[in-house]
Homo-oligomer: A and B are copies of this chain.
Amino acid sequence: MKSVNIPAIAVTRLSLYARNLALLDQKGVEVVSSAGLADICGVNPAQIRKDLGYFGQFGIRGVGYYVKELVYEIRKILGLEKEWRLALVGVGNLGSALLRHAQFLDQGYTFVAAFERDPKRIGKEVGNITVAPIRAMNRLVKEKGVEIGVIAIGPRWAQQAADKFVGAGIRGILNFAPVQLQCPSDLHVENVDFTRTLDRLCYQLTLNA
């Protein structure tokens, strides 16, 4: 398989294809046409062929894709055939929901540690994980082989949490705090800010009012 740097949006689509193929597999579907897969995913068939085309030749002309095989191939492309170990900081409403989020587990993501500044939350069990104090981060991240830090703490503490994750040696951050984190350039940061997505929706509704 070729290793290529494809556009971020294509990666996001690949992950959508893999998700829907896995659902088909669960239903016992063995083969799907590119038109069928396109329909389920809400994209056009040419897009699917193009996105997969970055990585080689998949599917059989006139038949379609073998579901199990394509899930496997896409997960390999995305680096999801391995288990990724995550640690979370900020076990409030959102953080607790993330620790218990079924879809993370389904996709091979495992939370192995969770940290808090609030003494009242330290020691509690959330989704099979005992919440630890932030000062234990450096040790636990190394001991448990954490690669990805998830930030679900308030905006005021997010940068400090990121600095501690970086100091402990994590490689990537998934950031739910509504702030722009300052991180070393070799660290990968992805932001999830659903208030901004909601803002975008309202802008569209206002335009078309």
Contact = CB atoms under 8 A, between A and B. Distances in A.
B93 A195 contact: no
Interface string A83-103: 010000000111011001101
Given A188-B205, A194-B192, A199 B15 contact: yes
A197 interface: yes
A23 B93 contact: no
Nearest to A74: B199
A192 B197 contact: yes
* Residue among A77, A188, A196 with the highest chain B CB neighbour number at 10 A: A196
B101 A93 contact: yes
Nearest to A77: B203
B195 A190 contact: no
Interface string A10-26: 01101110111001000
B16 A180 contact: yes
A187 to B, nearest CB: 10
Interface in A97-135: 97, 100-101, 103-104, 107, 109
Contact of A197 (B174, B179, B208, B209): B174
Interface in A180-209: 180, 182, 186, 188, 190-209
B107 A100 contact: no
Interface in A15-62: 15-16, 18-20, 23, 40-42
A205 B204 CA distance: 34
Given A94-B97, A197-B190, A202 B41 contact: no
Nearest to A102: B154
B190 A201 contact: yes
A155 interface: yes
Interface of A: 3, 5, 8, 11-12, 14-16, 18-20, 23, 40-42, 77-80, 84, 92-94, 96-97, 100-101, 103-104, 107, 109, 147-148, 155, 171-174, 176, 178-180, 182, 186, 188, 190-209
